[in-house]
Amino acid sequence: MRPLPVGEHGLLIELDSAEEVEALHAELLRRAADGALPPLREIVPAARTVLLDGLADPRGLLAELAAWDIPPIGAGDRPAVEIPVRYDGPDLADVAALWDCTADEVVRRHSATEFRVAFCGFAPGFGYLTGLPEPLHVPRRDTPRTKVPVGSVALAGPYTGVYPRSSPGGWQLIGTTDTVLWDPRREPAALLAPGTRVRFVPRETT
Amino acid sequence: MTDRAFSVVRAGALTTVQDLGRPGHAHLGVPRAGALDEPAHRLANRLVGNPASAAALETTLTGCALRLRTATTVAVTGAPCPVTVDGRPAPWGAPLRVPAGAVLDVGPATHGLRSHLAFAGGIDTEPVLGSRSADLLSGLGPDPLTEGAVLPLGAPYGPAAGADAVPHPGPVTELVLPFLPGPRDAWFTAAGLHTLATGRFRVSPASNRIGLRTEGPPLERSRGGELPSEGMPLGALQVPPDGLPVLFLHDHPTTGGYPVVGVVPERHLAPAAQAVPGTPVRFVRMR
């Protein structure tokens, strides 16, 4: 665990793996729920870091952090969120070529994987989902699309994700879902908050 | 539609509804948003008897004009500008009673960039995640004003607390931004950090509510490549591959993949909201 200063009221804690990030984030949320964390404005997990912002005394928390016993992440007690997907994306054949398998096999492998939301960013409700084994990591498109349709299920690097709204994007599109990822009138607004387990369920294309 | 409302006669270059923003949702990818010149926003609300959290308008350079459907107390702060009611001059930086049906014109900024316009009772559009702020990056909150749009006002809170004197900001001839190094200053060479602390930068015309972009000497990096995505605080000086620092303002993305060389504390950000393109920028290391 390597803490880095962020202005007057922040700490960026760098860790060695996505699993360690998730474990520290879970511990921070536990302590926040127990009222055992000093008041702060934001806890932002990311690929290898957790940002703590809006702390009155970052040094004080830093000293305390070093003594924490952080349990590794378990399987989780809540059931995985299931997202029905039509595997009809325009890049499905390209991903099959990158994985050196058939399109049906891409569907099988993607839907057999249990993902976890490592962190969010890019747009409200856009979760970066980890879980694919390293040989299945794919590059972004050489030329990003100016418009990716809402609900597109996509791959890039170690991540899979679902576009919560139409936006430009360079990820490989393998499918589509009707599930609403982000609705600010809903509680919670984001279906995929950090730490959520996710499974994609194939649906027949129509 | 209730009479407690105003209609937009002239929307201006970019006029948005802003309050103190929606902090606490960065982990879901939701920017903070909120008034860029927060002291000016708070002052405008205080002048009309609102709590600081009430929603007001933030204009950009060219102001805006509105027709009030009901007699309303308003106040304009931030960038100084000519204020008129039905064409007659009215005070800037003071509570002003606008009669029903009258047109309030907040003119172009004489210096500075953003004026903040509060109404007794505040703007009463529907909150999103606890805030009425427009967030230009993610599209949350009310759309920027358009001509003909009608926005509702809340019931007045009570008499204004008033103010003995309103600071009238002088022209921003140089934007001085104190910063604390980190978290990724180690990604830059000593020469690159020296460039940041001594270089002559200017505010780029590509600046917006997401970031104040700069033009000037690029910062030399000690390592190439991208950084895995990480949390970006308000006031972060993010350095994209062109080497020119971008000061992240209220609509900034919550995570990003370029190194942050330093962070400007929030209390020093209000002048950045008022710096027009071309303004010289100096970064001053705080320790």
**Nearest to residue B269, comparing CAs of B245, B248, B239?**
B248
Residues A85 and A151 in one domain: yes
- Smallest Cα distance from A42 to chain B, Å: 5
| Residue B192 lies in domain | 175-285
Q: How many CB atoms lie within 10 A of CB A139?
A: 12
* Interchain CB distance below 8 Å, B230 and A193: no
Q: Using CB atoms, pick whichever of A5, A165, A193 lies closest to residue B28.
A: A193
CB A82 within 8 A of CB A201: yes
Residue A91 and residue A59 share a domain:
no
Strands B115-119 and A115-121: unpaired
Q: Report the run of H or E that residue A30 belongs to, with start and end.
A: helix A18-33
Cβ–Cβ gap A41/B260 under 8 Å:
no
Residues in chain A closer than 8 A to B231 (CB atoms):
12, 42, 44-46, 49-51, 53
Together in a domain, B146 and B9: yes
- Residues from chain A that touch B230, judged by Cβ atoms under 8 A, are 12, 46-49, 51
Whether A61 and A89 map to the same domain: the answer is no
Residue B17 in domain: yes
Average pLDDT on A156-177 reads 95
Residue in B27, B180, B236 closest to A5 by CB = B180
Within this chain, do residues A90 and A186 fall inside the same structural domain, yes or no? yes
Let me know whether A85 and A54 are in one domain: no
Q: How far apart are the first and last CA of chain A?
A: 49
Q: Give pLDDT < 50 ranges for chain B.
A: none
Please answer whether residues A195 and A25 qualify as being in contact, where contact means their C-beta atoms are separated by less than 8 angstroms: yes
Of A14, A42, A66, the domain-final residue: A66
Between CA A75 and CA A85, with CA A81 as vertex, the angle to 5 degrees is: 125
Three-class DSSP category at A110: helix
Q: Is residue A73 domain-resident?
A: no
Long-range contacts of B237-241 (CB under 8 A, 24+ apart): B237/B179, B237/B196, B237/B261, B237/B262, B237/B263, B237/B264, B237/B283, B238/B211, B239/B187, B239/B188
CATH of the domain at A26: 3.30.1360.40
Share of chain A above pLDDT 90, in %: 87
Q: Which residues of A touch B232 (CB under 8 A)?
A: 51
Q: How far is A145 from A167, CA to CA, in rounded Å?
A: 9
B75 residue type, one letter? A
Domain count, chain A: 2
* B194 shares its domain with B128: no
The answer to whether residues B137 and B216 belong to one domain is no
Q: Are residues A171 and A92 in the same domain?
A: yes
For chain B, helix (H) and strand (E) counts, in that order, are 3, 20
Element (H, E) at B283: strand B280-285
CB of A165 within 8 Å of any CB in chain B? yes
CATH number at residue A91: 2.40.100.10
Residues B250 and B196 in one domain: yes
In angstroms, what CA-CA distances link B113 with A202, B11, B39, B78, B187?
52, 15, 14, 8, 33
- Residue B29 Cα, gap to closest chain A Cα (Å): 4
Q: What is the pLDDT of residue A206?
A: 55
CB A137 within 8 A of CB A157: yes
Query: Which residue reads 């020296």 in tokens?
Result: B194
CB contacts, 8 Å: A47 with chain B: 228-230
CB contact under 8 A, A165 and B139: yes
User: Per the CB < 8 Å rule, is B129 touching A125?
Assistant: no
Q: Would the CB atoms of A4 and B184 count as touching at under 8 Å? A: yes
Residue A74 located in a structural domain: no
Is residue A36 predicted with pLDDT exceeding 60?
A: yes
Peptide bond into B183 cis (omega under 30): yes
Minimal Cβ distance to A45: which of B23, B27, B129 = B27
Q: Predicted ipTM? A: 0.93
A7, A120, A194 ranked by CB distance to B265: nearest: A7
Q: What is the domain range of residue A13?
A: 2-66
Comparing A31-45, A73-87, B55-69, B186-200, which segment has the lowest mean pLDDT? A73-87
Q: Are residues A183 and A136 in the same domain?
A: yes
A122 touches chain B (CB under 8 A): yes
Residues A90 and A9 reside in one and the same domain: no
Q: Which of A135, A128, A145, A127 is nearest to A95 (CA)?
A: A135
Q: Is residue A58 in some structural domain?
A: yes
Helices H, strands E: what count in chain A? 4, 13
Q: Is residue A76 part of a domain?
A: no
* A60 shares its domain with A157: no
In terms of CA atoms, which chain A residue is nearest residue B233? A53
**Is the predicted pLDDT of residue A181 greater than 80, yes or no?**
yes
pLDDT band at A80 (very low <50, low <70, confident <90, very high): very high
Q: How far is A140 from chain B (nearest CA, A)?
A: 14
Q: How many domains does chain B have?
A: 2
What is the Cα–Cα distance from B85 to B108, expressed in whole angstroms?
15
Cα angle value A196/A198/A199 (rounded, 5°): 165
Residue A73, pLDDT score: 81
pLDDT in tens, A135-153: 999 999 999 999 999 999 9
pLDDT(A178) > 90:
yes
Phi, psi dihedrals of residue A80, rounded to the nearest 5°:
-70, 145
Residue of A nearest to B27 (CA): A44
Sign of torsion over alpha carbons A86, A90, A95, A100: positive
pLDDT(A204) > 90? no
Query: Do the Cβ atoms of A190 and B28 come within 8 Å?
Result: yes
Is A44 at the interface with chain B, CB within 8 A? yes
- CA distance, residue B218 to nearest chain A CA (Å): 22
The number of C-beta contacts closer than 8 angstroms across A and B is 109
DSSP H/E element including B190:
helix B190-198
CB atoms within 10 A of CB A162: 25
State whether A60 and A88 are in the same domain: no
Q: How confident is the model at residue A156 (pLDDT cuts 50, 70, 90)?
A: very high
Per-window interface: A 55-114 vs B, CB < 8 A: none
pLDDT score recorded for residue A205: 59
pLDDT of residue B204: 97
Indicate whether B185 belongs to any domain. yes
| Residues B148, B191 within the same domain | no
Residue finishing a domain among A38, A66, A94: A66
Out of A36, A66, A96, a domain closes at A66
Whole-number pLDDT of residue B30: 97
Q: Is residue A146 part of a domain?
A: yes
**Which CATH number goes with the domain that contains B199?**
2.40.100.10
Residues A147 and A170 in one domain: yes
- Please check whether residue A139 touches B, CB under 8 A: no
CB B33 within 8 A of CB B135: yes
- Would the CB atoms of A184 and B29 count as touching at under 8 Å? no
**Count of all residues that appear for chain B in the document:** 287
